[in-house]
Structures are given as structure tokens and as C-alpha cells.
Structure 1
Amino acid sequence: MDVTIKYLNKLKKITGKSNEKISIKENSTLEELIIGDICKRYEDISNYMINKENSNIDDKIALFVNNEQVKTSYSVILKSNDVITILPPVIGG
């Protein structure tokens, strides 16, 4: 099944694209997509998305599935044609 990933801010620069379609297995979770696919495709993304202390998705990353922010659990099961938006922390003032 296919999902669309939208990359914002710094992640857009790292990937060289603002969005892409990715094929994933049925019943894949958001966490599996981020850690198992996106961070492997784009190694530099893990510097922004993965907490080095516990190897989990960093709490400072804002993740949205179909425009709804995922705040508590990244074990959300993704569905075909879902749109995942990744917003890394904005630094500066």
C-alpha cells in the first residue's frame, strides 16, 4: 500500500523533495515507517528525528497523519493513501 510523506523545513532540504509516495506493508505503524524506512532512506534525517539516548522518535518532532497530530503513541496503524507530515523542531527566534 502507498502513503504520502510530506517533508517540511530542514527535512525538505535533506531529502531534496517536499513530498514522496512510499510503498509500505499492510498494518505498518507510524513508528515503523519513520525508523524502519525514512531514517534508512535518508540517513541524515535520523540526526533530526531520532533521540540518541533511547533510539526512539524525538519528542520534539511533530508528526501528523491526515492533518491530525500524533502526540502520544507512534504505534498508529497506517492506511492506504494516508498523508504523513513531518515537522522537525524549529530553532531560532
Structure 2
Amino acid sequence: MDIEMVFKILCGIVVIIMMIYYFRRQKKLLSFIIGAFTGGAALFIVNKYGALFGANVPLNLFNILGSLILGVPFVVFIVIMNFL
């Protein structure tokens, strides 16, 4: 099993955990919107300025959806995986 497959499996598990987290919150929609906004902003910043410190994170469907659903932890995880 290669590192990309492990990454996708871990992201799937984290998506399930985050969905459980969002459904248990009292303000579900607000919590999701704030998480999606911060994740999208973090992905945009890393995409725009990541080359300065060696993190080349492309804007593709997987990264965009992951950052919108999982938020900033997804973007941090992508950057860490980029250095491995």
C-alpha cells in the first residue's frame, strides 16, 4: 500500500469523525460554515505562498473538498504529507 492510499483512507476516517462532530454541535450550520471558510482560506494561503517554504499544494477537487469539509487540520496534514 502506497502513501497516497494511506492518506486517502485517513482522510475518509477523518471525514466521518468531522461529520459526527458537526452533527453533535448545537449550531451545526454555523460551525460547518466557519470550518469551511477557515479551511478554504488556509488552502488558498498555502497554495499562494507555500512555494516560499517548499509546500506545493495544488488546487484540485480532492484538496478543495477536503479543506471545506475538514477545515484547517486537513490543510496542515496536506502540508506535512508534502514534506514526507
**TM-score > 0.5 by shorter chain:** no
Question: Which one has the largest radius of gyration?
Answer: 2
Query: Bigger relative contact order, structure 1 or 2, given CA contacts below 8 A and separation 6+?
Result: 1
Structure with the larger strand share: 1
**TM-score of the pair, normalised by structure 1:** 0.27
**TM-score of the pair, normalised by structure 2:** 0.29
Structure with the larger helix share: 2
